Structure 1
């Protein structure tokens, strides 16, 4: 059995070679890939295809190499105009500020001794 030259290299050498040969992928290049396919993606959406079906096709064809979640996020933001903050409810950690009731009742208070007339 003939051993390949890769088997003769140390792990560190193989890692260094892989790092040199690996394509640099950044969020900017992912965004650019979606923008490059913008018209095709938009047409497929208009034709009734789901974002998942579109992703699976362009991923299998090698046009995109990133995750479906990232693809969906780019499509929503760049093509469908959905902002990630739209529709989210911003809550105040202190709760809503309301004025106390005019009748002076401030809330429920528990009375451990029941009044018999209230039980009838």
Structure 2
């Protein structure tokens, strides 16, 4: 079977000449996405993020800095799906809750301050 859609998009982004402001960022993201499974496997094996970046940088696979690598790793590998994605995957029907009057203010046993004392309580 051929390349996945994600791999094809990344390859196109690498070939495409974009303006400098967006081109470098898009190319860096494309490179990271191509290496994502390899990076995820190394993280799962217990290797520190810094060591992974250093090897990839030395091999010339990534040319961007460590801070960008950390940001891509955080957003594309480590973070769970956003709330919107979770809601789409698992739709939940809202339920209505009814509060009883006794639940309004729970009484905590112990000392209660009374600003106007009773004369019988004073010595």
Range of TM-score over shorter length: 0.3 to 0.5
Name the larger-Rg structure: 1
TM-score (norm 1): 0.47
TM-score normalised by structure 2 residue count: 0.46
